Amino acid sequence: MNSSVIVFPGSNCDRDVADALTKLQFKNKMVWHKDSELPKSDLIVIPGGFSYGDYLRSGAIAAKSNILKEIIKAANSGCPVLGICNGFQILIETGLLKGALLRNKNLKFISKDVYLKVLGNENKFCKNFKKGKVIKLNIAHNEGNFFTNSDHLKELEDKDLIPFKYCDKNGTINESSNPNGSLNNIAGILNEKKNILGMMPHPERMIDNLISNTDGVELFSSILN
C-alpha cells in the first residue's frame, strides 16, 4: 500500500510517522507542502508538529498551502486521510472535519501518556481494534480541547463518528480522565463518510515496546487490510 506523509515547514512528527508506516510495510513517500501533485496514495497522513509555528491559529496557515487542494480532492473521492495532532488541527482548519480545537483547559502544553477507549471499530482506521479496548497513547499538544456545536456533537455520537475517547486505566470516561477539557472526552473524530480521521493522540509513538508500547500498531494495520 502506498502512503504519503505531507510535510509543512514546522512539521516535526513527519519522520516518526513515516518510520511507523514503513515498519508496517507501507510504501511511503514524503510530500512537500509546495508540491502541487500528490503521488498515488492509499493513505494520506498529515503529521503532528507545529506547522508554521502554530502562529495565528494552529493549522490555519498550513490549511492555505498548495498541497491541501489536492488532499481535499483525494479525500472527497474517498481516499483515507489521517490527521494526527497538528494534522487534526489542519483538517479542521480546512473544513474537512468540523468543530474546533481550543486551548487545553489548564492553558498549558500537555505531554503525557493517556488512556483511550476504542468506541467504534466499524471504520477503516480501527477495524483491528477490539471494540471497547482501552489503549495507551501519548499526547503532546497545546490546543487539543475539542469543541463543537450540539447538532454536530449529536451527529458524531449518533453516527458512530467518535472512535476514541479519553478514559482512565479501567476504561471509565469521566472528567478526571479528560486531560485537556475536550467535549465528552473526545480524542478523535471521523467525517461522515468515515474516510477522514483526526485525532490528538500520537499512534506513531506507540509501535515499539522498547520505547513505549505497541498500542498504535493496530491503527496502521487496520488501514493496511
**What are the residue numbers of the active site?**
85, 202, 204
| Nearer residue to another protein within complex by CB, 159 or 211 | 211
Please tell me the distance from the alpha carbon of residue 128 to that of residue 220, in angstroms, as a whole number. 9
By the rule CB under 8 A, 25 interacts with another protein: no
One residue of 25, 27, 40, 55 binding another protein per CB under 8 A? 55
As measured in angstroms, the least distance from the Cβ of 55 to another protein is 4
One residue of 3, 44, 54, 121 binding another protein per CB under 8 A? 54
- The dihedral over CA atoms of 146, 150, 155, 160, expressed in degrees to the nearest 10, equals 50
- Contact between 48 and 140 (Cβ < 8 Å): yes
By the rule CB under 8 A, 110 interacts with another protein: yes
Please tell me the distance from the alpha carbon of residue 54 to that of residue 142, in angstroms, as a whole number. 10
As measured in angstroms, the least distance from the Cβ of 123 to another protein is 25
E strand or H helix at 157: helix 150-158
Please tell me the distance from the alpha carbon of residue 123 to that of residue 128, in angstroms, as a whole number. 10
Please tell me the distance from the alpha carbon of residue 164 to that of residue 116, in angstroms, as a whole number. 6
> Could you tell me which stretch among 70-78, 103-111, 161-169, 184-192 binds another protein (CB under 8 A)?
103-111
Residues 123-182 that bind another protein (CB under 8 A): 138, 140, 142
As measured in angstroms, the least distance from the Cβ of 147 to another protein is 20
The residue written with cell numbers 468515515 in the block is 194
By the rule CB under 8 A, 108 interacts with another protein: yes
By the rule CB under 8 A, 16 interacts with another protein: yes
Residues 32-51 that bind another protein (CB under 8 A): 48-50
The x, y and z cell numbers of residue 131, run together, are 471494540
The residue written with cell numbers 497545546 in the block is 142
Strands (E) located in the chain? 2-7, 27-32, 43-46, 81-84, 100-102, 110-118, 134-141, 145-147, 164-167, 186-190, 196-199
As measured in angstroms, the least distance from the Cβ of 212 to another protein is 7
Which residues contact another protein by CB under 8 A?
9-10, 12-13, 15-16, 19-20, 48-50, 52-56, 61, 64, 108-112, 138, 140, 142, 202, 204-205, 208, 210-212
